[in-house]
Structure formats: structure tokens, C-alpha cells
Structure 1
Amino acid sequence: MPLFELRELHNFLLALIPIFVAIDVIAILPIFLSMTEELAADEKKVIVRQSVITAFIVSICFLAIGKFIFGALGITVSDFKIAGGIVLLVLAINDLLFPEKRRRFEGSSIGVVPLGMPLIVGPGVLTTIIILVDTYGYLPTLFSIIINLFIVWITFIKSNTIVNMLGENGAKASAKVMSIFLAAIAVMMIRRGIFELISSQ
């Protein structure tokens, strides 16, 4: 395999994990189930499709124009790494300390809002996307978004089976682990942002 392809594969794998952790689909799963428990199977499939399509559109829009917005506002990627890392850290700490308040939202069109945005793609995911674009490039980030949203789709479609396999305690434990990883990634972003900011002076 050519060196270029190996590098692209490596970048893709490195971009895949932070988005997976930021979405934290295991944490969203109980919320999805509670919002759709009274719906028929066909209605659930429609909600799943709406939520994933919404998340994809929002992600792609931010992927395409996020850096342009930064330029217009005079924000550097280092600034965003620090600010975004702080946002992710707050989200992770909130999820760890107050699991009963995990990103819960009310809404009528649940496929678009709140499932698609901001539950699947919220501030943490958008922050991660813009930083990954700067670090690994557009293609690895785009493929990572697509793969992660496919994982979300599969998880929602098979939600009842997954919850039965994990059990309530297993789902809670998995969500805690994801929150710890999210906190670690947030600290890494803050550290890199500060280092790059100092180096550019």
C-alpha cells in the first residue's frame, strides 16, 4: 500500500475516534428510547432517518464553512481549540457528575430537534469537527462523520436489542467511560491550543 494511502488511513482512524466519543451514542440511546417508546416501528424508522440526515447536513455545513466563519470573525484555530476544549470538558464533567441531566431537551419534531441537533450533533461535535479539519484535513474528517453517523443509525435501529444486551448498569457504565474519554480529549485540545498559541507569538 502506498505511503500516501497509509497516511490517509492513519488520519482517518485518528479522526474517527474523537467524533465517536463526542457524539457518545450510548448516552443518547436512553433519551432516544424514552422519546420514541410510544411510536410504532415504522414511525421510529422515520425518526431515525430524520435525525441522522439532520445531523449529517449540520455537520457538512460546519465542515464546509466553519473555517470561513473563523476568518470573518478573526478567530484562530488555536483560539477555537482552547475554547472548544473547555466546552467539551464542561460537557464531560456535567455528564460524569450529573448523569440524570445528560443533554435532555424537549421538542415536538424530535427527529430534527432535539435528536439530530443538538443531541447527535451538538457543540462538542461541531468543536471536534473544526479541530479535526485543521489537524487531519477535510477527507478524513468527512469519512469519519459518515462512519460515525452510520454507527448512530445502526444503534438507533437496534436500540432495544442493544439495551437488552448491555442492561441498565452496562449502559450507564459505557456512558461514563465515554465521558472520561471526552474529558481526556478536551484536555488534549486545550493543551495543544495553548502550545500553538504560545509558539505563534
Structure 2
Amino acid sequence: MAFSWKEFVTVSMVLFAVIDIMGSIPIIVDLRTRVGHIQSEKASVVAMVIMIAFLFVGEEILKLIGIDTSSFAVAGSFVLFFLALEMILGIRLYKDEDPSTASIVPIAFPLIAGAGTMTTLLSLKAEYATINIIAGIIVNVIVVYLVLKSSAKIERALGANGLGVIRKVFGVILLAIAVKLFAANVKELFI
């Protein structure tokens, strides 16, 4: 249960790919133009609370409704797979109704702490120490906050092509994570 730099870096990178805050900049910019101001602090804190709470009680909630973690992980691998396809192919499978505010919904949930993030947290919990996962969550929330605060500047600096490249690279990483998650958990369903 000790802190490990290797685990911390791995967890941070996996969460960074799943949360995909850089790939979400076009969505964030679009929300900002539609609703005006985005409450970066509120969205970041709520997302962090959701992720840490789910890390500790997510497995118990699943047990309460009769779902084992392997089934949840396999289902989550499909969610990650489709998220990765969205990122790589530039299509939109998930459609959401128009938000009236842009802090808790849709930024904190489901953009930052969505189904993919929740699934990933449970999978990471099976392999890594909790302290390293919490540290990875905190680092990612700080990155999310900084990106939310400076999304317009980042968009201007990277341009549409730069954002597209980043989104596709993290899409491929996410696709690999989805395949690994599926392969590691699917055999448990048939035992």
C-alpha cells in the first residue's frame, strides 16, 4: 500500500487518456459559447469527489445490485472502445441534450468522471495501490482545472489540426486500454 512513482505515473497516464481533457477542448469551447461561463473550480472539485467516492464504494454498489467487477469491467471495456472510436474516427456516438449550465453536468459528469473513468478506476484498483490511484486522480483533476481555465488559449495555440492529432493519439491509447481490459476480465465471466 506504499506510494510508487511507477504506479503513480502509469495510473496518471491511463486516467489522462480516459478523461481525455485535451480531446474535450472542442466540446468545452462549444459549451462556453452556448452557456457563457464555465465554473472550472466547481467542475474540477465535483469530478474529483465523484472519482474518489467511486474508487471506495463503487465495488460495494455493484455487489449490492448483483454485478461482479469482471462484468462491470467487460461492460466498461465496450464503453472505452466506443469512446476510443469516437476519438479516432471523429464521429459522435454519445449524444446529450443541450445543457443549461456547464459545470457539474456535462463537464464534471459525464465528461470528466463518466462511465469510462469509473470503469477504469475499478480496473486500476484491482492492479494498483489506492494511494497511487488517488494521487493520479488529484494530478488529473489539476490538469483538468488548468485546461478548463485556459481552454480558449489552448485552442488558439494548438489549432484544429493540433487538437485533432492529440485526440487521435489518445484515442489509440484508449483503444489499447479497452482491449487489455476486455481480455483481462472476459475469462472471469466463463469460470
Q: Same fold (TM over 0.5)?
A: yes
Q: Give the gaps of 5 or more residues in structure 1.
A: none
State whether residues 35 and 101 of structure 2, in contact with CA within 8 Å, keep that contact through their aligned partners in structure 1.
no
Deviates more, 1:118-127 or 1:100-109: 100-109
| 1:115 maps to 2:107 | yes
- 1:169 corresponds to: 161
- 1:128 corresponds to: 120
Distance 1:48 1:91 in 2: 23
Distance 2:27 2:82 in 1: 20
Q: What is the one-letter code of the residue matched to 1:111?
A: S
Distance 2:172 2:80 in 1: 11
Deviation at residue 51 of structure 1 after TM alignment: 1.2
- 1:30 corresponds to: 26
Which of 154, 170, 174 is residue 178 of structure 1 equivalent to?
170
Distance 1:72 1:153 in 2: 33
Give deviations 1:136-160, integer Å, cap 9, x for gaps. 0321111111110111111121222
Distance 2:41 2:34 in 1: 17
Change beyond 3 A, Cα 1:22–1:76:
same
State whether residues 28 and 120 of structure 1, in contact with CA within 8 Å, keep that contact through their aligned partners in structure 2.
no
Q: Give the gaps of 5 or more residues in structure 2.
A: none
Relative to its length, the structure with more helix (as a share) is 1
State whether residues 11 and 136 of structure 1, in contact with CA within 8 Å, keep that contact through their aligned partners in structure 2.
yes
Change beyond 3 A, Cα 1:11–1:50:
same
Distance 2:180 2:168 in 1: 19
- Describe how 1:24-173 pairs up with structure 2 within 5 A: 24-37=20-33, 43-44=37-38, 47-97=39-89, 99-101=90-92, 105=96, 106-173=98-165
Distance 1:152 1:131 in 2: 21
Aligned length in residues? 189
Distance 2:6 2:30 in 1: 38
State whether residues 103 and 119 of structure 1, in contact with CA within 8 Å, keep that contact through their aligned partners in structure 2.
no
State whether residues 77 and 134 of structure 1, in contact with CA within 8 Å, keep that contact through their aligned partners in structure 2.
no
Distance 2:95 2:149 in 1: 20
Deviation at residue 197 of structure 1 after TM alignment: 4.9
Distance 1:148 1:163 in 2: 19
Distance 1:101 1:194 in 2: 27
Distance 1:102 1:75 in 2: 25
Deviation at residue 194 of structure 1 after TM alignment: 2.6
Distance 1:143 1:102 in 2: 31
What's the Cα RMSD here?
2.1
Distance 2:5 2:138 in 1: 15
